[in-house]
Amino acid sequence: MIMRPPGHSGKAKKGHICFDASFETGNLGRVDLISEFEYDLFIRPDTCNPRLRLWFNFTVDNVKAEQRVVFNIVNISKSTNLFRNGMTPLVKSSSRSRWQRIPRGQVFYYKSAQHQNHYVLSFAFSFDREEDVYQFALTYPYSYSRYLAHLDNLCGSKLTCTKRETLATSVQKRKIELITINSNLDEAQDRSRKVVVVLARIHPGESPSSFVCQGLMDFLVSSHPIAQVLRNYVVFKIVPMLNPDGVFLGNYRSTVMGADLNRSWNKISEWLHPALMAVKPLLKNLDKNSRTPLDCVLDLHAHMNATGIFVYGNTYDDVYRYERHIVLPKLLAQHAEDYEIGNTMYNQDPHKAGTARRYLCSILKEHVNCYSIEVSMYGYNRKATPGIFPYTEEAYYRLGRNLARVFMEYYKLMGVIPAGLPDQPSSKRTRQSRPRYRVLRDPRPKNSRKPAPIHLASIHE
């Protein structure tokens, strides 16, 4: 959609900005031209769920060099969010493919008298390259195509430790895949193993959960000693994208039918919730198997109102069951520098009866622990440094790797994995550095490694 000044007709001139969101995960519903420099932008509500408006992701082109604009996102539905804590939108451009955060000094989140006192997110931006297409997003997008491409990569090589199957198809016939990661033990080595199920992306706007899930999967199939040991003692069953239609459409929480799947586990309909309809019997069957029993279900989410990584768990009247339940989060607290104990919560909240972690613990055996793992859409607090430190894509991948380390420690503590394994100490952490183990997938093209930065400071010049 090209925005021309009032009265202008004929061919659009440079500077008559063209907005587009008609691509996978795109979301922008309407644009109003307020003045030469200012635009009001409306998020397209979730399909069949007009109350939900948060995820945005759109491109802008046909700009003039040095053109300065103010974009006001005027219809965010969740007014209490991390923009109040200094979160800023992301931007990249066609010649600079790495996402960058718009500097805080250019972003304002406030109650606007011009918009019936609604909260408005305004950001000022100066376009520095006329030929570039710029893209703005709430947080790092992770599309349906990217998910399929990653799984092709993960399972496409000669690896024998992965198995891929299509668990279900969504209402719009997209694939809900199940990946199993474990080593194929020969008869002599055969032993009872625990099963861990990981679910992700039930809420499409919570794209960081896909990065965490990918970080976990890439680590588990790698040649790292911890991964090798885990594959021998634990079977990982991973459903990386439970709501592919919502992801494709650029929704925040809903499916194409407007359903919030993580409020629907206790009222599953075959027609409305094919993903849940497939995952529930999978879990029930795993739970029946006494040789490789289901032990843990993690449901990965991202949070728009809190920092760091944290856990939502359950409370139980049986104090021993509760004490067993809080062991894994305690280990996560020890292994993730970004863990926020203050955000961790255990409850039996009746509102949350339809969530995976509440419902599944009521239908599975007592020893099975179910948790929601939440990671901030923005950043985390570091002990020695004041302020919030924004997450990058790499930091989300790292979080996934940390989850694997936590399982290692957990199953050692539980006596499932013998003490002393693996040979290399797990404390050798390579935080922020490239992993030293081999991730078995195609290398990224060299030219995408270090794109030049967008000249973000120019708005102040």
Which stretches of the chain bind Zn ion, using CB under 5 A? 203, 206, 301
Closer to Zn ion at the Cβ: 107 or 306? 306
**Would you list the DSSP string of 55-108?**
--EEEEESPPTT-EEEEEE---S--SSGGGGT---EEEETTEEEEEEPPGGGEE
User: Which run of H or E residues covers position 133?
Assistant: none
Residue nearest to Zn ion (CB): 301
Minimum distance, C-beta of residue 207 to Zn ion, in the bound complex (Å)? 11
Tokens of 45: 């509500």
Closer to Zn ion at the Cβ: 53 or 203? 203
Minimum distance, C-beta of residue 388 to Zn ion, in the bound complex (Å)? 20
Minimum distance, C-beta of residue 289 to Zn ion, in the bound complex (Å)? 29
3-state secondary structure of 162: strand
How far is residue 325 CA from its own chain's centroid? 24
- Edge-to-edge strands of the sheet including 68-73? 30-33, 38-42, 68-73, 118-126, 107-112
Closer to Zn ion at the Cβ: 206 or 409? 206
Minimum distance, C-beta of residue 39 to Zn ion, in the bound complex (Å)? 30
Terminal-to-terminal C-alpha distance of the chain = 30
Closer to Zn ion at the Cβ: 357 or 398? 357
Minimum distance, C-beta of residue 304 to Zn ion, in the bound complex (Å)? 9
Marked catalytic residue, from 177, 206, 340, 374: 374
Query: 244 with 174: CB under 8 angstroms?
Result: yes
Alpha-carbon torsion, ordered 198, 247, 78, 355, to 10 deg? -30
Q: Is 66 a catalytic residue?
A: no
Q: What are the angstrom distances between the C-alpha of 32 and each of 19, 72, 111?
A: 11, 10, 19
Closer to Zn ion at the Cβ: 151 or 306? 306
Angle between helices 393-413 and 208-220 (to 10 degrees): 50
Show which residues are catalytic. 374
